[in-house]
Structure 1
Amino acid sequence: MLTLAALIGNPALELRLLVPGPAGALDREALWVHNTELPDPSPYVRAGEIVLTNGLWQDETTASAFAANVRRAGAAGIVFGLRTETPATPEELIEACRREELPLAEISIEVPFTAVTEAASVIHTDQRRDALVGMVRRGDALAAAISHGAGASGVLAVLRREHDLPLAVVDRMARPLAAAGVELTPEQRRIVAEGLARHPPPLEVDLGGQEGRATVFLVGAVGDTDAALLCLRPVSGLKKAEQDALDQAARFLSLEVAKQQAIQAIELRFASELLDMILSGGHRAAEVPDRLRAFGVDPSGELVVLTIAFADGAESTLPGLSETVGEFFLAQSLAVVVAGGSQDVVAVLQRPRLDLSELAEALCSVVRKRFPERRPVVGLGDTAASAGELRQPLVQSREACQVLRRRRGAQAVASFRELGTHRLLLGLQDAGTLQGFADGVVGPIREHDGSRAGELEVTLRAFLSNDGHFGATAAALYVHVNTLRNRLAKITELTGRDVARTEDRVDLYLALEADDMSRSR
């Protein structure tokens, strides 16, 4: 590193220190050397440069003014070159540098300024070479850590061998992937995840507390920002070498994150295929035991199914829900298959020793902390004696979850049989029976809507949702009550069911429910 101390320590330059300046000034990194004889070089001298001068400015300004101008420019110090006309450094300049707390050295008559420039060039060359060698060695160590399966923790360990920095890796779902020298709270991880969701992501985040501001080094897998390498120091507190090392490590972390994403994608596909096998029955049912074994679940023992989703009208699951559910069961030391769908997440696992409802309540608590703005609900099915009997518990848990999603209230967990609704009876029917009943009632309505761009089905659903109140339904649909009556009359004509009669209204309601259930299976 180029410093005044390094130049003074070079015997070939014959430099003599006259004013050391404040503590640490001689070891301050210098940007370069700048030869000048201007009375006021401040417009041209860059901060951190070492000023080389022979004092030819003495005819135009005082030593005090010159030293003050150099100090104002932020120079690292002055090297005064002796010459025949000035065999000693002027006392006025020495005193001025003391007042300005500006390091001052003199160079003998025999040594030209070009020697100082050459020495600085050599130092810079060596520094760049060392940095390049260090980067290559660090790259080899990082590659070895990842190839040997050390993961994100191994990457941080390589960094910590060179730089004693507090480090953490957090993904966009606020999950901690690794940490060294620090442990982030869930709230701090959430702050990081929110930062990664911005466009563009910030270079720093404020973690609050003692940690304060942390520098963010983005980790991307396939185009997007998937995680962040955090150094719990602000950018201004990091040296250039530290920033370079962290940036290099972030690039290697991208490989690790991409690998983990590929593994998760394969696991998700295998899990989703398992649900298809269970629901399809027939010859594919024979594949279920092997697929369960692949996830560490014993297919010969009793099995349970939980389905979790968000209430509050959410039409789709949030990214990260499947991972949160999987991590929950992993923390409970339970082997599980977790499959995420468009509206729910299903977990198939061995029947646990803990009461299933208590386990589901604990799962809801964890999910609420991860997604504080949403309300999770969990549906439970009957216990399956073996893998061959999983179909009914799977359907039951999903139906129970759907009922909880539609209900208003604080209930978060319920089994299929506890609900005791019409869906209990519908859930016992096979998909063909359900769809046949639904098509027979709802089919004519949909054919009419499709051919005339009508809204009869929307009208019927709104009418039933508003408990048959004409005024409330018309207001919800933004139509006149007479328009509503005309639409309901058309529905009666097409289906043979009169919404004014209780048994016909029950048929219409059950047909819509059956249609929804058959589509979700």
Structure 2
Amino acid sequence: MFSLNALVRTTSLGLRVLVPGSEGALEEPVAWVHNTELPDPSRYLRPRELVLTNGLWLGSITAAEFVANVRRAQGAGIVFGLRPEMPATPPELVAACRGAALPLLEISPDVPFTAISEAVAGLYTEERQSALVGMVRRGDALATAISRGAGASGVLRVLRRDYELPLAVVDRMGRPLASAGAELTGEQLHTVAAALARRPPPLETDLGAAGRAALFLVGAVGDVDAALVCLRPVADLTRAEQAALEQAARFLSLEVAKQQAVQAIEQRFAGELLEMVLSGGSRAAEVPGRLRAFGVDPDGPLAVWALAFADEESTLPGMAEVAGEFFAADGIPAVVAGGSRDVVAVLSWRRSERELAPLAERLAANVAERFVGRRPVVGLGGVAMDSTGLREPLVRSREVCQTLRRGGAGPAVRAFAELGTYRLLLGAQDADTLRSLADGLLGPIRAHDTRRGSELEATLRAFLDHDGQWAASAAALHVHVNTLRNRLAKIAELTGRDVTRTADRVDLFLALEAGDML
């Protein structure tokens, strides 16, 4: 858009400012020009249009009424055209414009209104050509940045050459991909991620102390995968700034799609590595080469961790990436694989094992900051001397993680050796042995529960969890003590194990634990 001052600076028009209006009014954008002699042009006048008039309406209404009508329609100002019959602008019109703080300009009778229209058309053409040239130039710079691997940071650098805006790129997991002039807190990153999860995502979101921020959506593979965040509300951005940000968001979609493709390949390779470790046999020979591909030395000590969220049966998208970023920031070579129930990390570890727990606690804190409202837990499976010994610490780390998930408000990090002797014994058994132990005792109980709709297994768990205390167990199950006794008698009948005897109680407890490990 052009401004009144731009017209005044067009010397061929010979415009003279009689009333400048409110402060800055001459620099405000003007939508177009509107030639009218109607006493009340408000019904036909669009906001921010400039009124061109010769004052033929003066015999019908007063100047104050005409100015009020223009002001009501949010006109940008008035250009009064002099004519032989009226060689000077009426003083009452000058006074009315001054009272309404509405700009008033005067044009000579030798210059027709069509000259103003032509000048406006020229200004618009020049502005659009300049914007088009700027967009093409910026597009070339953005394409160059992407092709040279500058990533999201390179895109923001190109934007900041033209506009000093506080910018950040955040993906739908709340991960910061790049920033320039804007550093978002963990809570603000979570707010952006929550906004992107909405359908449809909003174009603005409230970032608390940072105020309202505009979101320019970045789509990679058929969905909203990230946002170009500008720490300014949309209303405070000029049309040129909005166009530039929208253009950058389209280029960012290429970068996000590339990153997603790379991450998908890495995750698939990492997942296959875990399958190789667990399956053993011929596939175990592929493990060293796969570890080297991730920069992990297969011939040196390797620590294995399992990460999950407490009281949740599945992991969240992006959890593996957050863990991978944590190890990369610490300079620790690692393979991180995301599964449906946990995230497993295999890391090169040549330091003391005592340093594993503090590092795992920092990882848990980092994940908690990125996934607000969730409680991460980390199971430490121990350290293998090299890649040939990975299977045991892998199984142990997952067992510890599973135990911590059920542990309520317990510790966030534990090692397998801290779980107790019975877990060490069970962890040393293969899957067939564990399945035989669990099915042998729990099979009849579960069959009865399925057939009769009873709760014998839940009753057994509650009784053992409360150390065989009858009243506490009954209260936890919300049943009478006599009902509890009848259920435990049925369990004894089905399994041949009496919960009042220590040896039998141990058998039942180990069967439940073996079932959970499976």
TM-score by length of 1: 0.90
Give the letter for the 2:54 counterpart. Answer: N
Aligned residue in 2 for 1:81: 81
1:325 to 323, 329, 347: 323
Give the letter for the 1:339 counterpart. Answer: A
Query: Aligned partners of 1:437 and 1:28: how far apart in 2?
Result: 81
Q: Partner of 1:170: helix, strand, or coil? A: strand
What are the within-5 Å matches in structure 2 for residues 43-442 of structure 1?
Answer: 43-209=43-209, 211-311=210-310, 313-353=311-351, 355-371=355-371, 373-407=373-407, 410-442=410-442
Give the letter for the 1:217 counterpart. Answer: F
Unaligned runs of 5+ in 1: none
Query: Aligned partners of 1:183 and 1:51: how far apart in 2?
Result: 46
Deviation at 1:241, TM superposition (A): 0.9
Q: Partner of 1:18: helix, strand, or coil? A: strand
Give the letter for the 1:183 counterpart. Answer: E
Contact map agreement 2:175 2:370 (CA 8 A) in 1: no
**Residue by residue, what CA displacement relative to the aligned partner does 1:227-274 show, whole Å, maximum 9, x if unpaired?**
221212222211111111112212222222222122222212211111
Query: Aligned partners of 1:379 and 1:350: how far apart in 2?
Result: 17
Give the letter for the 1:330 counterpart. Answer: A
Query: Aligned partners of 2:357 and 2:8: how far apart in 1?
Result: 76
Query: Aligned partners of 2:376 and 2:497: how far apart in 1?
Result: 37
C-alpha RMSD of the superposition: 2.6
Aligned residue in 2 for 1:39: 39
Contact map agreement 2:301 2:383 (CA 8 A) in 1: yes
Q: How many residues get paired?
A: 516
Query: Aligned partners of 1:106 and 1:54: how far apart in 2?
Result: 10
**Residue by residue, what CA displacement relative to the aligned partner does 1:366-389 show, whole Å, maximum 9, x if unpaired?**
234334534333222232111011
Q: Partner of 1:37: helix, strand, or coil? A: coil
**Residue by residue, what CA displacement relative to the aligned partner does 1:268-305 show, whole Å, maximum 9, x if unpaired?**
22111111111111111111101111110000111111
Query: Aligned partners of 1:452 and 1:136: how far apart in 2?
Result: 73
Deviation at 1:402, TM superposition (A): 2.8
Contact map agreement 2:189 2:370 (CA 8 A) in 1: no
Aligned residue in 2 for 1:491: 491
Query: Aligned partners of 1:257 and 1:202: how far apart in 2?
Result: 20
Aligned residue in 2 for 1:15: 15
Name whichever of 226-235 and 366-375 sits farther off: 366-375
Name whichever of 446-455 and 66-75 sits farther off: 446-455
Deviation at 1:17, TM superposition (A): 3.5
**Residue by residue, what CA displacement relative to the aligned partner does 1:140-189 show, whole Å, maximum 9, x if unpaired?**
33233222211111111111122121111122333221111232333433
Q: Partner of 2:351: helix, strand, or coil? A: coil
Distance 1:16 1:405, change over 3 A: closer
Query: Aligned partners of 1:63 and 1:298: how far apart in 2?
Result: 87
Query: Aligned partners of 2:233 and 2:365: how far apart in 1?
Result: 35
TM-score by length of 2: 0.91
Query: Aligned partners of 2:458 and 2:32: how far apart in 1?
Result: 75
Name whichever of 385-394 and 464-473 sits farther off: 464-473
Query: Aligned partners of 1:50 and 1:409: how far apart in 2?
Result: 68
**Residue by residue, what CA displacement relative to the aligned partner does 1:8-56 show, whole Å, maximum 9, x if unpaired?**
3335544343333344333321011112222233343222110011101
Corresponding position: 1:29 with 2:29: yes
**Residue by residue, what CA displacement relative to the aligned partner does 1:90-149 show, whole Å, maximum 9, x if unpaired?**
233233333333322233334433333333233334433433343333333323322221
Query: Aligned partners of 1:497 and 1:131: how far apart in 2?
Result: 84
Q: Partner of 1:382: helix, strand, or coil? A: strand
Query: Aligned partners of 1:316 and 1:296: how far apart in 2?
Result: 28
Give the letter for the 1:419 counterpart. Answer: L
Deviation at 1:437, TM superposition (A): 2.0
Corresponding position: 1:515 with 2:515: yes
Contact map agreement 2:301 2:350 (CA 8 A) in 1: no
Name whichever of 408-417 and 141-150 sits farther off: 408-417
Contact map agreement 2:21 2:103 (CA 8 A) in 1: yes
Deviation at 1:479, TM superposition (A): 5.5
Query: Aligned partners of 1:367 and 1:2: how far apart in 2?
Result: 50
Deviation at 1:335, TM superposition (A): 0.5
Give the letter for the 1:321 counterpart. Answer: M
Query: Aligned partners of 1:258 and 1:470: how far apart in 2?
Result: 59
Give the letter for the 2:267 counterpart. Answer: L
Query: Aligned partners of 1:409 and 1:492: how far apart in 2?
Result: 33
Unaligned runs of 5+ in 2: none
Deviation at 1:218, TM superposition (A): 2.3
Distance 1:225 1:476, change over 3 A: farther
Query: Aligned partners of 2:450 and 2:132: how far apart in 1?
Result: 68
